[in-house]
């Protein structure tokens, strides 16, 4: 096995001290060493295929140039796109992203945080799961830089970047009402997480007192989506007062829900109008162009990176609480 090139090897060939080589390669243009010597050292390092020891570099600088990204489910197109954008954006600033999925389980989120802390990440971007408040509080207590993305806990003072879920859901339900729909059901996740509660509240307030009743909201467990959605939709379309529209609170709920509506031979929008929160490539193959809530994914992910890196650089910086607006993309399904 070929011996790895060391700083000593470069110093010997360049005729300078090891300290000078180290200074030039770590400080680059700001080394203060003459241009001629600096160029000679860099050329030798390149020719000898020198690779810096990242662990030693991290110990020296106190920074690993890595960040941890924990999302709910990397197989969901929404989170996959966020991960991709975060990775590309972080790379512009010299950071590498290590990411994993919590699968909406607080225990898995805990294990991922522990693993990433052991990897000496400089900070975190986290989509928090239900029941993970203690983990977020602990990161705060330990002064570890982090930003919550897509969701946050109103009871904990943290950095976060999210959309205005209440307004997005309110506007979606109002659109269904404007198009003449009277009874508008909603299929949502059964969770205490704030983003889902905001969507539910937006739907409820848009309908208003006198129209909204509890039977219009059908909540399903994240772990049992496939089994629960048919029950939820049956409750909405087969009761004494069937709905004429359904608002699906996420793209996953929408995909499985639309499939079941097909099985029931219910045509969209003739038999039932539909709006879905979030988009999905699968929707392009649906026979009816869908109306959906489009989240500003690029802005969401890029802003999360900016906020995190600012707090890595300035630990005492004021907390950033960012809410972005979503856009309602109009198709034929909401008529």
Kindly report the CATH number assigned to the domain that includes residue 235: 3.40.50.2300
Cβ-based burial of 2 (10 A; exposed 0-12, middle 13-18, buried ≥19): exposed
Q: Are residues 137 and 94 part of one domain?
A: yes
Quick check: 193 and 204 in contact, CB under 8 A?
no
Q: Are residues 270 and 177 part of one domain?
A: yes
Q: What pLDDT does 280 receive?
A: 81
Residue 216 has pLDDT above 80, yes or no: yes
* pLDDT tens-digit map of 19-46: 888 888 876 565 568 888 989 999 998 8
Q: Is residue 58 part of a domain?
A: no
Domain count within the chain: 3
Q: Are residues 88 and 46 part of one domain?
A: no
Question: What does the alpha-carbon distance between residue 332 and residue 183 come to, in Å, rounded to a whole number?
Answer: 18
Q: What pLDDT does 55 receive?
A: 45
Q: What pLDDT does 64 receive?
A: 77
Element spanning 160, H or E: strand 160-163
Q: Are residues 158 and 302 part of one domain?
A: yes
Q: Is residue 60 part of a domain?
A: no
Q: What pLDDT does 29 receive?
A: 60
* pLDDT tens-digit map of 291-321: 999 999 999 999 999 999 999 999 889 999 9
Q: Are residues 262 and 169 part of one domain?
A: yes
Using the structure block, give the residue that is written with the tokens 């059901």: 185
Angle at 292 between CA 214 and CA 176, to 5 degrees: 50
Q: Is residue 333 part of a domain?
A: no
Quick check: 5 and 12 in contact, CB under 8 A?
no
Angle at 310 between CA 298 and CA 143, to 5 degrees: 115
Give the domain range for residue 190.
165-295
Label each residue of 271-300 as H, E or C. Answer: CCEEEEECCCHHHHHCCCCCEEEECCHHHH
Region of poorest pLDDT, from 47-61, 66-80, 297-311: 47-61
What tokens appear for 71 in the block? Answer: 């999302």
| Mean of all residue pLDDT scores within the chain | 91
Q: Are residues 212 and 155 part of one domain?
A: no
% of residues, the chain, pLDDT over 70:
94
Q: What pLDDT does 223 receive?
A: 86
Q: Are residues 314 and 251 part of one domain?
A: no
Using the structure block, give the residue that is written with the tokens 């972080």: 90
Q: Is residue 1 part of a domain?
A: no
Question: What does the alpha-carbon distance between residue 300 and residue 327 come to, in Å, rounded to a whole number?
Answer: 13
The predicted model gives 280-294 an average pLDDT of 88
Q: What pLDDT does 58 receive?
A: 47
Please state whether the peptide bond connecting residue 269 to the residue before it is cis, i.e. omega within 30 degrees of 0.
Answer: yes
Output the domain CATH number for residue 32: 1.10.260
Residue 1 has pLDDT above 60, yes or no: no
Q: Is residue 203 part of a domain?
A: yes
* pLDDT tens-digit map of 162-203: 999 999 999 999 999 999 999 999 999 999 999 999 999 999
Q: Are residues 101 and 39 part of one domain?
A: no
Q: Are residues 205 and 235 part of one domain?
A: yes
Q: Are residues 218 and 147 part of one domain?
A: no
Q: What pLDDT does 49 receive?
A: 83
Q: Are residues 194 and 283 part of one domain?
A: yes
The predicted model gives 86-115 an average pLDDT of 95
Question: What does the alpha-carbon distance between residue 301 and residue 335 come to, in Å, rounded to a whole number?
Answer: 32
Length of the chain: 335
Q: Are residues 172 and 145 part of one domain?
A: no
Q: Is residue 229 part of a domain?
A: yes
Quick check: 136 and 126 in contact, CB under 8 A?
yes
Q: Is residue 57 part of a domain?
A: no
Q: Is residue 59 part of a domain?
A: no
């Amino acid at each position: 096995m070929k011996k790895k090139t060391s700083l000593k090897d470069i110093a010997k060939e360049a005729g300078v001290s090891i300290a000078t080589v180290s200074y030039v390669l770590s400080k680059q243009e700001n080394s203060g060493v003459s241009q001629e010597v600096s160029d000679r050292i860099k050329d030798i390092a390149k020719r000898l295929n020198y690779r810096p020891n990242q662990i030693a570099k991290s110990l020296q600088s106190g920074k690993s140039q890595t960040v941890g990204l924990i999302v709910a489910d990397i197989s969901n197109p929404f989170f996959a796109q966020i991960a991709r954008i975060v990775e590309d954006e972080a790379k512009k600033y010299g950071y590498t992203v290590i990411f994993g999925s919590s699968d909406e389980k607080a225990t898995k989120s805990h294990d991922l945080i522990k693993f990433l802390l052991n990897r000496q990440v400089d900070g975190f971007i986290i989509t928090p799961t239900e029941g993970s408040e203690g983990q977020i509080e602990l990161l705060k207590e330990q002064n570890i830089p982090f930003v919550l993305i897509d969701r946050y806990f109103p009871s904990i003072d943290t950095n976060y970047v999210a959309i205005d879920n209440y307004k997005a859901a309110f506007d979606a339900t109002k659109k269904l009402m404007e198009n003449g729909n009277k009874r508008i059901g909603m299929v949502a996740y059964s969770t205490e997480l704030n983003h889902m509660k905001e969507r539910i509240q937006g739907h409820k307030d848009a309908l208003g007192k006198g129209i909204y009743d509890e039977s219009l909201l059908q909540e399903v467990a994240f772990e049992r989506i496939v089994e629960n959605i048919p029950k939820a939709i049956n409750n909405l379309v087969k009761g004494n007062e069937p709905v004429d529209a359904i608002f699906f609170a996420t793209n996953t709920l929408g995909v499985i829900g639309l499939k079941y509506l097909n099985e029931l031979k219910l045509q969209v929008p003739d038999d039932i109008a539909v709006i879905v929160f979030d988009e999905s490539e699968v929707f392009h193959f649906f026979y009816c162009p869908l109306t959906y809530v489009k989240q500003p994914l690029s802005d969401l992910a890029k802003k999360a990176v900016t906020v995190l890196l600012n707090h890595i650089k300035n630990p005492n910086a004021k907390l950033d609480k960012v809410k972005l607006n979503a856009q309602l993309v109009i198709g034929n399904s909401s008529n």
